[in-house]
Structure 1
Amino acid sequence: MADLAADAVVLGYPVTSSAPAAVAWLTIGFSLLVVILRLVWADEPGLPEERLVTYGLWFGAGAGLLREGAVQQALSDAGILEVGTTRQVGTAFIVLTFAPLVLLALSWTDSWPERAARTSRALWTAVYVSVAVMLVAGTHARALGQYIDRTRGWETVLYFAIFSAWCGATGIVVTCTSIRDLRAGELRPSHRVTHALILIVGVWATEEAFSILVSAVCAATGTGQWFVDFRFAANQSNFIYLLLLGAIPASAQVMMDLARRLRVDSASRAVRVLTPLWSDLVRACAGEIPRPAQQDSAPSPERRLHRMTVEIRDCLLVLGRYSEPPPQQLPAALAEAVQIAEALHRKRSGAAPGGYVRLHASAPGRDIVDERRTLRSIAAHWDAAAAYRDHAAQLNGAR
């Protein structure tokens, strides 16, 4: 018993995360804010993947909150939970975080729709049972008034074996999925960044699972005290940084929704840039391009941008019969805008259509995103192109 007392750390005070207080509380506050905004804005019915992200971040933020010393002390002073219980409940919240992360990674596979319901029920049941067993196994340490991270006995191994199993499974599944998608390529830069962050979290979680289990065995057998001390200190800070890495990609949808509401998102900006070009072309080609019989009363910026892109492309196909090669002495984007302006002027003037000349902007790109990028570049020079065409017409008239 003397050896046990010497090795034990008595729960006479709460232990806060060793991450700087500013980092810890900013991370927790940011995560909770993202959760609230996702519930209000982004967590729409029919989007189970978004709900899984929200659940995972909610449990993660709750775990971070319960692992802070100020929260542990406040709950203890209020007589709600003892410090040891609060710490173990915080660890249980971490385990709850793993379930939606595993489901999210599995949902990225082609076979997921056929097994989604069955797998989801099994996984949520398993995680709830795991949490219950962990809290029961932690009773021994709570009764001794010790941190379970340093308590001798088989209960410590069982407690952290369950934790490590979930942590390791999550890390392996997330790591393999991210590597697969990154190797497949064809990802946008923002998607590559998201997958890279997820990959870091996955590798980190896998390492944490292994080293925490080794530390638990050492603590349970009273060996390797230096490693137990190292893991005890690392456990206090690592989760905060993992939570931050997870909250950043989870906030992407919220940031997009906020930008959309402020009309500073990429779609709204693109609509503003394309509107002068689009309105001129649609007025000139109204009888030759298909347009919807009923317009949406309040279309989203994405829907409006898609419709404008399609209609501009249709107009450019029409104007190809009135087009000539672009001027060679001008920069590429301005030259393309001038070429379109000249074709538009000839059609408005009643000129007879001639042989078809493909306008560069009407050539299909790799996808619609590339086409929008090209059209935005041309639309940005639309006023300059009209001024250039008017100036050229004045010079020709003077001659």
Structure 2
Amino acid sequence: MTSSAPAPVAWAILGFCAVALVLRLLWLSGQVRSSERLVTYGLLLGTASGLLRERAVQDGLADLGMLSVGLTRQLSTVVMVLTFAPLCLLAISWSERWPARQAGISGLVWASAYASGIAMLVVGTHARSLELYIDRAEGWQTPVYFAFFSGWCGATGVLMTYTSIKELRAGDLRPIHRLTYLTILVVGAWALEEALSIFVSSVCAATGTGGGFVEFRFRANENNYIYLLAGGAMVAASGVVSELARRLRIDPASRAVRQLTPMWEDLIAACPEIPRPANPDIRMSSRRRVHRMTVEIRDALLVLGRYAEPVPDDMGGHGGEAVQIVRALRRKQSGAMPGQYLRLQASAPGRDVLDEARALSKITKHWNDARKCPEAIPSLDGDRAG
């Protein structure tokens, strides 16, 4: 296939893909998470397919005597089929049983993709010998060729659609996760439609029927891919943007660490009995650090609950909770006797560590003011209010 998109647009998109790919290889190639590697493989193969679809590349390879234009066109589709392999594995990896089956499934999927590509080139020999686009060639070879493409495209669409519907029906998703699965659902539905319509078009071309539909599908195939690649590259580039934010320390985890630090330092100093690592890892990532800080703050609040008094009547909200924690901290530091446990920081949703960190960050905004507040001076006569 040869791209019909305007050359400036196509090359701008391919340039963006190349930059995103290089940065992923430099920054994310060492990631332990297999999903990151699969996204990189998908972007690499998708970009290669896009390059092979450009007329300048096809003519250039032919002029150098390396590949004929017909073979390069078919290679672009073969590489696109290979692109479906990491996308399939990425969808499969969302299963809870993935870790136990990863090695066996990965090898099978990649071997099947390479075998499909070789078979497509063999079947495509007939069209190349006639110097025809296989999309328009009559004969049994055309539907067989596109059966491989449609099979991979359809399998990817089924996996994406099934997974997204399953997660959306399960519910209890954060808004960003709900949007992600809705996007995956749309892409999966599109892949299913493409797989079906392209195969139907190949049958029509092979039998010399439905010429109008064949031409419509042919033009759509020529024009659509580069824009779909742009969308995929933007998704892949989001990982690069996140990594850049982490390196610049402006990512959410780094901001949370900065927000929690003043209260965290005061609490761990007041509660040396809470368990902490003997030799903290100074190279710990921001995500792990905010997780650790949240757990240690929570442990300290459990200890201080034995020294807590109710929130002052004239204070409410997160500022009042900050004052309540400071009062409990100062009672403990002053040597007051512990009393009946009173839960501190009661407004935290507590669904997971992320919710905990967000709730605590709201209190830390009032921490310095709470330390200076006259109401933060506790009663030290041993009597507990309430």
Decide which of 51, 58, 66 is 1:80's aligned counterpart: 66
Q: In terms of mean alpha carbon deviation, does 113-122 or 82-91 score higher?
A: 113-122
- Over the aligned positions, Cα root-mean-square deviation in angstroms equals 2.4
Is contact 1:150–1:220 with CA below 8 Å preserved after alignment? Answer: yes
1:136 has 2:122 as partner: yes
Decide which of 127, 146, 161 is 2:132's aligned counterpart: 146
1:61 has 2:47 as partner: yes
Per-residue deviation, 1:323: 1.8
Decide which of 208, 211, 228 is 1:222's aligned counterpart: 208
Per-residue deviation, 1:196: 2.2
Overall identity of the aligned pairs, in %? 58
Decide which of 381, 384, 388 is 2:373's aligned counterpart: 388
Mapped partners of 2:8, 2:311: distance in 1: 58
Using a 3 Å threshold, how does the CA distance of structure 1 residues 337 and 391 change in structure 2: closer, same or farther?
A: closer
Mapped partners of 2:258, 2:126: distance in 1: 65
Q: Which residue pairs with 1:327 in the alignment?
A: 312
Q: Which amino acid aligns with 1:61?
A: T
Per-residue deviation, 1:356: 2.3
1:322-372 Cα offsets, whole Å, 9 max, x none, are: 221113444411111111122223333343333322112596711111111
Per-residue deviation, 1:218: 1.6
Is contact 2:327–2:377 with CA below 8 Å preserved after alignment? Answer: no
Decide which of 278, 282, 290 is 2:268's aligned counterpart: 282
Q: Which residue pairs with 1:70 in the alignment?
A: 56
1:17 has 2:13 as partner: no
Is contact 2:143–2:206 with CA below 8 Å preserved after alignment? Answer: yes
Q: Which residue pairs with 1:117 in the alignment?
A: 103
Decide which of 186, 202, 224 is 1:200's aligned counterpart: 186
Using a 3 Å threshold, how does the CA distance of structure 1 residues 200 and 25 change in structure 2: closer, same or farther?
A: farther
Q: Secondary structure at the match of 2:342?
A: coil
Decide which of 241, 249, 254 is 1:268's aligned counterpart: 254
Q: Which residue pairs with 2:167 in the alignment?
A: 181
Mapped partners of 1:70, 1:331: distance in 2: 68
Q: In terms of mean alpha carbon deviation, does 383-392 or 249-258 score higher?
A: 383-392
What are the residue-to-residue correspondences of 1:84-123 with 2, within 5 Å?
84-123=70-109
Q: Which amino acid aligns with 1:338?
A: V
Using a 3 Å threshold, how does the CA distance of structure 1 residues 324 and 45 change in structure 2: closer, same or farther?
A: closer
Q: Which residue pairs with 2:291 in the alignment?
A: 306
Q: Which amino acid aligns with 2:171?
A: G
Mapped partners of 1:87, 1:237: distance in 2: 14
Q: Which amino acid aligns with 1:116?
A: Q
What are the residue-to-residue correspondences of 1:355-374 with 2, within 5 Å?
355-361=340-346, 365-374=350-359
Q: Which residue pairs with 1:253 in the alignment?
A: 239
Is contact 2:349–2:359 with CA below 8 Å preserved after alignment? Answer: no
Using a 3 Å threshold, how does the CA distance of structure 1 residues 362 and 229 change in structure 2: closer, same or farther?
A: closer
Is contact 1:164–1:210 with CA below 8 Å preserved after alignment? Answer: yes
**Structure 2 unaligned regions, length at least 5:** 379-386
Is contact 1:49–1:104 with CA below 8 Å preserved after alignment? Answer: yes
Q: Which amino acid aligns with 2:92?
A: L
Per-residue deviation, 1:262: 0.9
**Structure 1 unaligned regions, length at least 5:** 1-13, 394-399
Mapped partners of 2:105, 2:282: distance in 1: 41
Mapped partners of 1:197, 1:22: distance in 2: 28
Using a 3 Å threshold, how does the CA distance of structure 1 residues 46 and 352 change in structure 2: closer, same or farther?
A: closer
Q: Which residue pairs with 1:6 in the alignment?
A: none
1:288-325 Cα offsets, whole Å, 9 max, x none, are: 32222111132211222122112211221222222211
1:339 has 2:324 as partner: yes
Mapped partners of 1:246, 1:328: distance in 2: 54
Per-residue deviation, 1:264: 0.9
Per-residue deviation, 1:146: 2.0
Per-residue deviation, 1:21: 4.4
Using a 3 Å threshold, how does the CA distance of structure 1 residues 348 and 122 change in structure 2: closer, same or farther?
A: closer
Per-residue deviation, 1:253: 3.0
How many residue pairs are counted as aligned between the two chains?
378
Decide which of 202, 205, 220 is 1:234's aligned counterpart: 220
Using a 3 Å threshold, how does the CA distance of structure 1 residues 116 and 311 change in structure 2: closer, same or farther?
A: closer
Is contact 2:146–2:198 with CA below 8 Å preserved after alignment? Answer: yes
Q: Which residue pairs with 1:163 in the alignment?
A: 149
